[in-house]
Amino acid sequence: MQSAATELSRLGKLAEYQVLDTAPEKEFDEIVQVAASLLGTPMSTVSLIDRDRQWFKARYGVAAAETPREHAFCAHAIQGDNVYVVNDATKNPLFAENPFVTGAPDIRFYAGAPLITPDNFRLGTLCVIDTAPREGGLSPDQEKTLTLLARMVVNAMESRRQTLRAQHQSRMLTKVAEAMVTISQARTMAEVAKPLTEAARGLVVAEAAHFEGFAPPAAFFATRGGAELPSSIPWSQRATALRERASFAPVTGKDLGYTDKGAWFGVLIGLQTEMPRAALQLWRPATSSFTEIETAMLADLARVASGAVERLKS
């Protein structure tokens, strides 16, 4: 079984693909039809394993759109790299009492090839299912066929994600430009903080965004967007660490030795003077890092905010 931290990261990666609960798409539908035809089974699915459910991006010969994860054969198949085969579910102690074995659709034979992303996350499977057992399982050539088709599914998901990302970045470029104009015209710290955190959070789809202003001896201003950071290290302590770093360059949780199960990003603001004026911090769960493009756009936002803060404090 995977550790809780690994599973959290896997779920975060699945969320990045923005594919759950989407409409059927021809490319995926054709793959399950080909899989069923080549392997001679009445059923085939592209199954994605969510936190508590198994959801089918594509299905052939299967009526349900999703099933509970606890009953999913595919939840076992994602534990390894190779094709997972159950020759006769009625004789397998893991599945003999499974409701999909004892009742409709009367699964007997199952074979699932894990959907492995380029960065080695197993998001689900391409599987074939039969109502009759197969004592001989799959031949090596059949396993290779299922594996190759699973790679086609992953390639389709990657292509889909890149298209969505490009569309998102195009929309966000416009929003970031609008936020920069608003920030540059700000008359108070609040007018800097609100558009900055909103634009930053929208840009990277962060769960939480935080802007902390500090100017000796006691001035403090903070705004949050989204959930509280689920960590024993509070925002203020992170800001202190950023000040000690004394650099405008983006800093991640890894740089500062934090062990949060998620990606953290922070930059200092207002470095034209000896003491920084503020810090922009963002956090999102179960992702390994912020992309280069995201980091660059966040840094651009922070530079404009830095100039605005310096103007307000001068």
Q: Flag the least confident range among 84-88, 175-179, 214-218.
A: 214-218
State what percent of residues in the chain have pLDDT above 70. 77
Is the pTM above the cut of 0.75?
no
Residue 125 or residue 250, greater confidence: 125
| Position 32 pLDDT exceeds 80 | yes
pLDDT digits 0-9 by tens, 227-269: 555 455 666 667 777 766 655 566 666 666 665 556 677 777 7
pLDDT at 126: 98
- How many CB atoms are located within 10 Å of the residue 247 CB? 14
Domain with CATH 3.30.450.40 in the chain: 4-161, 185-313
pLDDT of res. 303: 82
List the single range of 17-31, 92-106, 125-139, 274-288 with lowest mean pLDDT.
274-288
Answer yes or no: are the C-beta atoms of 226 and 201 closer than 8 Å.
yes
What average pLDDT does the segment 72-88 reach? 96
| Residues 6+ away with beta carbon under 8 Å from 62 | 43, 44, 45, 56, 105, 129
Element (H, E) at 208: strand 208-215
Contact criterion met (CB below 8 Å) for 115 and 153: yes
Task: In whole angstroms, give the CA distance from residue 88 to residue 8.
Answer: 32
**CA 267 vs CA 24, 62, 212, 240, 288: distances in Å:** 41, 50, 11, 12, 18
Cα(175)–Cα(35) distance, integer angstroms: 43
- What's the rounded Cα separation, in Å, for the pair 235 and 229? 8
Q: Is 108 exposed, middle or buried (0-12, 13-18, 19+ CB in 10 A)?
A: buried
The verdict on domain 4-161 having CATH code 3.30.450.40 is yes
Q: pLDDT tens digits, residue range 259-302?
A: 555 667 777 776 544 566 777 877 776 555 677 777 788 888 88
Q: What is the pLDDT of residue 219?
A: 47
Q: Which fold has domain 185-313?
A: Beta-Lactamase (3.30.450)
Q: Is the pLDDT of residue 223 over 80?
A: no
What's the rounded mean pLDDT across residues 76-104? 96
Q: Which residues contact 231 (CB under 8 A, 6 or more apart)?
A: 258, 260, 283
Q: How far apart are CA 267 and CA 249, in angstroms?
A: 7
pLDDT reading at 210 higher than 70:
yes
311: confidence class by pLDDT, cuts 50, 70, 90: confident
Residue 27 has pLDDT above 70, yes or no: yes
Amino acid at the residue 49: I
Rounded mean pLDDT, 190-211 = 78
Give the integer Cα–Cα distance in Å for 175 and 301: 11
Mean pLDDT of the chain: 83
Element (H, E) at 225: strand 219-226
